[in-house]
Structure 1
Amino acid sequence: MGGWAIAVHGGAGIDPDLPLSRQEEAKCLLSRCLQIGIDALRSSKPALDVVELVVRELETDPLFNSGRGAALTEKGVVEMEASIMDGSNRRCGAVSGLTTVKNPVSLARLVMEKSPHSYLAFSGAEEFARQQGVELADNEYFITEENRGMLALAKEANKILFDYRIPAPEPETCGASTEKPLQVMNGLPISIYTPETVGCVVVDGQGRCAAATSTGGLMNKMSGRIGDSPLIGSGTYACNLCGVSCTGEGEAIIRATLARDVAALMEYKGLGLKESVDLVIRERLDDGGLAGLIAVSRDGEVACGFNTNGLFRGIAKEDGTMEVSIWGQGLN
């Protein structure tokens, strides 16, 4: 074993003109979350506890798209989802359609540990949350004025906005004014691609891996839409070899079972962590599918991969390595 390691992300695909102030805010939050994880690992907390602690912090801060500050559905409400997985025994828990639970990742863990199931959604998940006594809040707690404004813009443009904090590009003009979409999702045009799902992966000092992912989904999404984040094997996966958390175009990640494929390449083909991450980003996504992921191995390795122009990410290792970054090459 190569010692403990941790990685955290806040979404893949970033506007190249993102204001420096926003970049610094993101880096500060990622650094704070990394330090929470580092302190827990130095105190010999197991990997599962650490990923929950870190993602809870990300859900509490409204900067990224999870918990407070989550994206709004077409009906103007928040529907959150999350998952968590313990690689030492491949137990997992997931939740979707949450409207009142302050920390979806913790409810996902309770589904894993306190229910006979792996996945609960909507009214059933909310009822389970009340039974377990988790902290609840009115839906208004999760909604920011910024998001209300972005939803209004999305409705006016009749679009699903991936990054609801970045305005859509100006339409190209050549004679008549026509807009050229930058991307399509399931064949439908979207304006710009920059989701801000959050996630954390950890290997502890005992070589145990864990992963957790949490999101509010897409701005102006259909009510009831479920993305990749709560789907074990797509947005989140952990086993005795590695832990993986994904972010990006949920529908493409679902089709590719992206997180599980990293582990499968290590398990069945004997590839290393970085080689596996690069291969799935390069070859497993459909043409035009955009995504990023973070991963750790039981040997204390850390890898990040993305085919977007950036990934909000931070890594730290027991040997003292610590880095928080946004830009750079997604593939070696």
Structure 2
Amino acid sequence: MGWAIALHGGAGNIPLTLPPERREPEEAALRHCLQMGTAALKAKQPPLDVVELVVRELENNPHFNAGRGSVLTSNGTVEMEACIMDGICKEQGVETIDPSHFITPNNIERLERVKEANRVQIDYTEPIQKEVEKQTPVADGDSQIGTVGCVAVDIQGNLAAATSTGGFVNKMVGRIGDTPIIGAGTYANRFCAVSATGKGEAIMRATVARDVAAIMEYKGLSLKDAADYVIQECAPRGTAGLVAVSATGEVTMPFNTTGMFRACATEDGYSEIGIWPSV
């Protein structure tokens, strides 16, 4: 048994032709946050504190669709969602910030483009099509795609998960996605901790995060086999990815989309930072 950590910056249609200037900031942020989380686990900080620390750092990075840099609703406002298994709220003294802090010029521009096309958009690599002009869809080449999340386990087998997102571009005011729903986008129990990312409606229908834990508990499968089954057999193709760790220090990061920004490290020295499927 040993500590392990995994984090993600969203899954979706990430083109293999993604230029370095779009890809490298996300990779650098994942590397930085992985190092931060690893150092915290080595310092014997509780997993709950570790996942909160990492997700807060990802939220503060405008290259991800969570916290500062979150996509905008149809009203041009931010409506963000987050979940951590033990709960965090204003009454417990958590710092709050004016909503204007989270809005960036890039996301104002994206909202205008998507509203002009009369649609909502799950990620920025999806094509924008003007319905009135019936143009051929062309990807806009922006790699900022979605939810952030982190899972961690310490050497005692204590587990925690946290997930945060800004949702869909031009989403209806009041829409709730999978991220804050225990069992869909976030879950942690004595078997594993899971943070999912992708199309919220599909993740909710498949109860992705809880099903990984349930399959481990009731079928006796390993973390990898349980996660692979949920992502490849339960969630529709092109809709979901997840990061997960087990109580024994296993780690897995499957996805059925084109790519997923992801990173992980374990006490035995294994580490990985990736976007597309490993060769």
Q: Where does residue 254 of structure 1 map in the other structure? A: 204
Could you list the per-position Cα deviations for residues 266-309 of structure 1 after superposition, in whole angstroms to 9, with x for gaps in the alignment? 000000011011100111124x5511000001111100111111
CA contact (8 A) 2:238 2:257 kept: no
Alignment correspondent of 1:301: 250
Other-structure match for 2:31:
31
Match of 1:12 in 2: 11
Q: Distance in 2 between matches of 1:74 and 1:297?
A: 39
8 Å contact kept, 1:15–1:194: no
1:15-94 matched pairs, under 5 angstroms = 15-85=15-85, 92-93=86-87
- Cα shift at 1:136: 2.4
Matches of 2:33 and 2:134, distance apart in 1: 45
Q: 1:55 to 1:274 in 2, by over 3 A?
A: same
- Displacement after TM superposition at 1:22 (Å): 1.8
SS at 1:300 equivalent: coil
Aligned residues: 274
Identify the residue that residue 317 of structure 1 maps to in structure 2: 266
Deviation of 1:325 (Å): 0.7
Structure 1 moving runs of 4+ over 4 Å: 176-182
Partners of 2:59 and 2:135 in 1: CA distance: 38
TM-superposed CA distance for 1:15, in Å, is 2.8
Asked if the contact 1:246/1:293 (under 8 Å) is kept, the reply is yes
CA distance in 2, matches of 1:328, 1:229: 23
2:223 maps to which of 273, 276, 281: 273
Tell me, in whole angstroms, the C-alpha distance in 2 between the residues paired with 1:72 and 1:180: 22
Contact 1:12 1:194 in 2 (8 A): no
Partner of 1:186: none
Give, in angstroms, the shift of residue 135 of structure 1. Answer: 2.3
Greater Cα radius of gyration, structure 1 or 2:
1
- TM-score, structure 1 as length reference: 0.78
Report the structure, 1 or 2, having the larger strand content. 1
Shift of 1:80: 0.8
Among the aligned pairs, what percent are the same residue? 56
Task: Return 5+ residue gaps in structure 2 as ranges.
Answer: none
* Contact 2:65/2:144, CA 8 A, preserved across alignment: no
Partners of 1:11 and 1:195 within 8 A in 2: yes
Q: 1:157 aligns with which of 107, 117, 130?
A: 117
Task: Please tell me whether the aligned partners of residues 10 and 311 of structure 1 are also in contact (alpha carbons under 8 angstroms).
Answer: yes
The amino acid of 1:61's aligned partner reads N
SS at match of 2:7: strand
Once the two structures are TM-superposed, the CA of residue 133 in structure 1 deviates from its matched residue by 3.9
Q: Quick one: which of 175, 178, 186 aligns to 1:236? A: 186
Does structure 1 conserve the Cα–Cα contact (< 8 Å) formed by 2:8 and 2:260? Answer: yes
Deviation at 1:137, TM superposition (A): 2.2
Letter in 2 for 1:12: A
Q: Deviations over 1:11-32 (max 9, x none)?
A: 0021333221221111110011
Superposition CA RMSD, Å = 2.3
